[in-house]
DNA sequence: CTTAGTAATGCTCTATATGAGCACAATCTG
DNA sequence: CAGATTGTGCTCATATAGAGCATTACTAAG
């Protein structure tokens, strides 16, 4: 407890979860790791010639993707021991960020591409109802893992965590628990990444990523799913003009859940989040829809405005 | 955008916001910086012999305060350019954590002591109604700062931010905006810390801290004030057995606001957060109160349980 | 032209949550 | 005993959330 402790100099990198929604799929920017044949999140250097980390990240991403980043938020700083550069040895600190943008063809080294995030987390997409993957594969395997301990207390605790995270035993599905779900699967040895920790692995479907990048992505998804409920960040993912249904589909893509259409619209206009452009979209396949635009002023009017969306609430 | 960027090795430290509530005051553990005569948050080394940062921080705090840390959560990683060790030069990364405990005599170098956090943020305590400091000093000075720009858009934007952050022009006070308030004061040159950024300073009351520690503390306060509304973390600050009023006073101390007693109790028992011990406290000064204890089981029952408290909601 | 199909949009109904207050009970202090 | 202080039960108005019905305005197929 000193004012000026000795500082260990440690390698620091920035890792970005860059999200866009296209064709009703939430997508994340990934690169291909040449050596390991794993997909990875784009990782940038910690440059000290920027005033803040955020500015540095923004300029770096924009340089690489040639597209402005609408919104940036720090996610988490990872520095666990197993997070070393090559197996063991030096410790690596990784400061992760969440960024929102609109999809664009990305260029750069490492073969950047936009991937649906459900490629990495197929169990997170409940838009067409409960995925069979959960009921048929994940639930039984997790149950088996829980039953496999001798200690009764641990067993009960595991069962509880599983039920809560995956909405079993009559509990509701909570789309915000993405990280908890991934961590459970990791602990239970059901994702390939766990092998590096020496666990026995018999993986469930879902593409793995390099290092702990899938955990970082899970953190980003969880954060974004939570955020859209009380901050108007969805609009960063929308084009200038859009229909209310398009907005709803975007939210649904992120949340992995369907929403009640009328209630969704009620919320949006109760809060005055959008305004008419006067134009209509005729190619909707049904009655023409008004084209609206985001009222940027709301960002000023109520700094902490809520975009309360009809999704499961923390209770 | 490479898989294996070059890593700049950077000094990394851990900074802790350790909170306890005693005698209806929220307190934070500080140390005295010998050189600069400023109070500071305890800062620890980044030790690589712990499996996770959290474990490292926990053991370090417990070693120093001789008291268990009930709850730890990562706050934010600061690495702005002005955050260098001595004025200019080397960049410093500081990973900050929020920890909850019960007050104890702390020992260690640096003269550790528990300080009411309202010592550093006197405008944050609204338990006895709106502080005169806000109306008489802060509001007029901020207004003057806003008026002092030529650009009309910037002026309006500043006025808006001020109104929202400090609950002016008929807006409600929102206790969660602690960080925004501090940052406004910083920008306006109303805190001593701003001098280091070369701003002209005419400070309002409130003790400054070393480096950007007051900003880190503001981050911790804001986070905790938000958290108590949907997670049962208050109990980490309570003794084993307590009365409902004591619990309410603790929440009020943190939130800096009074709560409606009956509604508070309604929430607590609707959610089954506590259970009777069978004992009563006779020294209440009034009718004897039941002594209750936290039902630890709720942490299992609903991992993300809400302790919805009757405080201002984001909308 | 008619019939489906698909969306947009307006409205209602119910359950629940929240904010505020009244009334009264049980204790202590002076 | 009066007055202060706290605990505790209860009510009431309002806001919000979840669910569904009905109607309107288009396109495409027959």
Burial class from Cβ neighbours inside 10 Å (0-12, 13-18, 19+) for residue B67 reads middle
Burial class from Cβ neighbours inside 10 Å (0-12, 13-18, 19+) for residue B32 reads middle
Among B210, B290, B172, smallest CA distance to B43 is for B210
Residue B51, pLDDT score = 66
DSSP conformation letters of B69-112: --EEEEEEEE--TT-EEESEEEE-EEEEEEEE-------STT--
Is residue A197 one of the residues assigned to a domain?
A: yes
Q: Are B16 and B106 in a shared domain?
A: yes
Q: Per the CB < 8 Å rule, is B7 touching A8?
A: no
Residue A109, pLDDT score = 61
Q: Å from B131 (CA) to D2 (C1')?
A: 35
Question: From the list A1, A13, A31, which residue is nearest B64 (CB)?
Answer: A1
Contacts of A314 in chain B (CB under 8 A): 230, 304, 306
- Calpha distance A24→B175 (Å, rounded): 37
Q: Are A186 and A161 in a shared domain?
A: yes
Mean pLDDT calculated for residue range B33-38: 73
Instruction: Label the pairing between strands B39-40 and A8-22.
Output: unpaired
- Residue in B closest to A46 by C-alpha: B8
Is residue A308 one of the residues assigned to a domain?
A: no
Burial class from Cβ neighbours inside 10 Å (0-12, 13-18, 19+) for residue B113 reads middle
pLDDT in tens, B84-131: 444 445 677 889 999 999 876 666 666 678 999 999 999 999 998 899
Q: Are B172 and B264 in a shared domain?
A: no
CATH code assigned at B72: 3.90.79.10
- Calpha distance A171→A162 (Å, rounded): 11
For testing the chain A interface, which of B2, B297, B307, B315 should be mutated: the one with the most A CBs within 10 Å?
Answer: B2
Q: Are B72 and B104 in a shared domain?
A: yes
Structure tokens at B111: 């003269």
- Calpha distance B58→A51 (Å, rounded): 31
**Coil vs helix vs strand at A44:** strand
Is residue B245 one of the residues assigned to a domain?
A: yes
Helical H runs in B110-171? Answer: 132, 139-147, 152-166
Of A250-264, B178-192, B296-310, the one with minimum mean pLDDT is: B296-310
Residue B285, pLDDT score = 72
Which of A179, A206, A233 marks a domain boundary? A206
Q: Per the structure, how many domains does chain A have?
A: 3
Burial class from Cβ neighbours inside 10 Å (0-12, 13-18, 19+) for residue B204 reads middle
pLDDT in tens, B255-279: 999 999 999 999 998 888 898 888 8
Q: Are B64 and B106 in a shared domain?
A: yes
Q: Are B187 and B238 in a shared domain?
A: no
Residue matched to tokens 């609950």: B167
A246 closest-nt by C1' vs CA: C7
- List chain A pLDDT tens, one digit each, 315 residues: 443 444 467 888 889 999 999 989 999 999 887 666 789 998 877 765 666 777 778 877 777 767 778 889 999 998 865 554 444 456 778 899 999 998 766 666 666 789 999 999 999 999 988 999 999 999 999 999 999 999 988 999 999 999 989 999 888 899 999 999 999 999 999 999 988 776 777 899 999 998 889 999 999 999 999 999 888 899 999 999 999 999 999 999 999 999 999 999 999 988 888 998 888 877 667 778 889 999 888 877 665 444 455 554 333
Mean pLDDT calculated for residue range B23-36: 85
Among B101, B97, B48, smallest CA distance to B216 is for B97
In Å, how far from its chain's centre is CA A112? 18
- Calpha distance B301→A164 (Å, rounded): 8
Question: From the list A31, A91, A304, which residue is nearest B1 (CB)?
Answer: A31
Q: Are B107 and B140 in a shared domain?
A: no
Please give the C-alpha separations between residue A27 and each of A22, A100, A129, B9, in angstroms, as whole numbers.
7, 10, 20, 32
List, in order, residues 6 or more apart from A239 with CB less than 8 Å away. A102
Q: Are B187 and B277 in a shared domain?
A: no
The band of B314, judged by pLDDT with boundaries at 50, 70 and 90, is very low
Is residue A54 one of the residues assigned to a domain?
A: yes
Nucleotides of C strand lying within 7 Å of any protein CB atom: 5-12, 17-22, 25-29
Which of B206, B221, B254 marks a domain boundary? B206
- Higher-confidence residue of B83 and A251: namely A251
A287 closest-nt by C1' vs CA: D26
Which of B119, B153, B182 marks a domain boundary? B119
Angle at the Cα of B52 from the Cα atoms of B49 and B55, rounded to 5 degrees: 85
Residue B4, pLDDT score = 42
Mean pLDDT calculated for residue range B243-255: 93
B216 reaches A (C-beta below 8 A): no
Q: Are B49 and B86 in a shared domain?
A: yes
Q: Are A113 and A134 in a shared domain?
A: no
B259 closest-nt by C1' vs CA: C19
Is residue A53 one of the residues assigned to a domain?
A: yes
Is residue A233 one of the residues assigned to a domain?
A: no
Q: Å from A263 (CA) to D26 (C1')?
A: 23
A37 reaches B (C-beta below 8 A): no
Is residue B219 one of the residues assigned to a domain?
A: no
Q: Per the CB < 8 Å rule, is A7 touching B2?
A: no
Residue A46, pLDDT score = 73
Among B103, B86, B67, B78, smallest CA distance to B14 is for B78
B312 reaches A (C-beta below 8 A): no
Q: Are B99 and B27 in a shared domain?
A: yes
Is residue B44 one of the residues assigned to a domain?
A: yes
The interaxial angle of helices B152-166 and B139-147, nearest 10 deg, is 170
Domain around B136: 123-206
Instruction: Label the pairing between strands A241-242 and B88-91.
Output: unpaired
Quick check: B69 and B94 in contact, CB under 8 A?
Answer: no
- Calpha distance A185→A194 (Å, rounded): 9
Structure tokens at A8: 């260990």
Question: From the list A5, A12, A81, which residue is nearest B13 (CB)?
Answer: A5
Q: Which long-range contacts (CB under 8 A, 24 or more apart) does A169-176 make?
A: A172/A312, A173/A126, A173/A130, A173/A257, A173/A312, A174/A312, A174/B304, A175/A124, A175/A126, A175/A225, A175/A255, A175/A256, A175/A257, A175/A311, A175/A312, A176/A222, A176/A225, A176/A226, A176/A312, A176/A314, A176/B304
Q: Å from A127 (CA) to D18 (C1')?
A: 18
Distance from CA of A268 to the nearest CA of B (A): 13
Q: Which 54-113 residues of chain A touch chain B by CB within 8 A?
A: 64, 74, 76-77, 79-82, 85, 91-93, 95, 108-110, 112
Nucleotides of D strand lying within 7 Å of any protein CB atom: 4-11, 16-21, 24-27
Quick check: A273 and A294 in contact, CB under 8 A?
Answer: yes
pLDDT in tens, B196-237: 776 777 899 999 998 889 999 999 999 999 999 888 899 999
DSSP conformation letters of A4-15: SPPPEEEEEEEE
Residue B119, pLDDT score = 97
Q: Are A50 and A92 in a shared domain?
A: yes
């Amino acid at each position: 407890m000193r004012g000026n402790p000795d500082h260990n100099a440690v390698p620091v990198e920035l890792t970005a979860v860059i999200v866009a929604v296209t064709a009703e799929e939430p997508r994340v920017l990934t690169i291909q790791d040449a050596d390991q044949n794993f997909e990875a999140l784009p990782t940038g250097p910690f440059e000290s010639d920027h005033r803040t980390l955020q500015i540095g990240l923004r300029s770096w991403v924009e340089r690489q993707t040639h597209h402005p980043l609408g919104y940036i938020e720090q996610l988490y700083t990872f520095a666990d021991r197993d997070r070393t550069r090559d197996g063991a040895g030096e410790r690596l600190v990784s400061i992760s960020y969440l960024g929102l943008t609109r999809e664009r063809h990305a260029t750069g080294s490492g073969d950047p591409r936009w991937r649906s995030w459900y490629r990495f987390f197929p169990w997170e997409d409940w838009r067409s109802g409960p995925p069979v993957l959960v009921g048929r594969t994940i639930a039984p395997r997790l149950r088996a893992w829980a039953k496999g301990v001798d200690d009764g207390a641990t067993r009960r605790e595991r069962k509880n965590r599983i039920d809560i995270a995956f909405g079993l035993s009559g509990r509701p599905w909570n789309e915000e628990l993405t990280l908890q779900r991934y961590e459970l699967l990791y602990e239970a040895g059901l994702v390939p990444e766990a092998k590096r920790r020496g666990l026995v692995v018999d993986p469930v479907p879902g593409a793995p990523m390099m290092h702990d990048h899938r955990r970082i992505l899970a953190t980003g998804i969880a954060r974004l799913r939570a955020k859209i409920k009380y901050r108007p960040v969805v609009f960063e993912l929308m084009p200038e003009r859009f229909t209310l249904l398009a907005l709803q589909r975007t939210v649904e893509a992120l949340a992995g859940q369907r929403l009640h259409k009328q209630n969704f619209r009620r919320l949006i206009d109760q809060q005055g989040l959008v305004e008419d452009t006067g134009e209509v979209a005729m190619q909707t396949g049904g009655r023409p829809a008004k084209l609206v635009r985001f009222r940027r002023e709301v960002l000023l009017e109520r700094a902490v405005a809520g975009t309360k969306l009809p999704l499961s609430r923390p209770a």
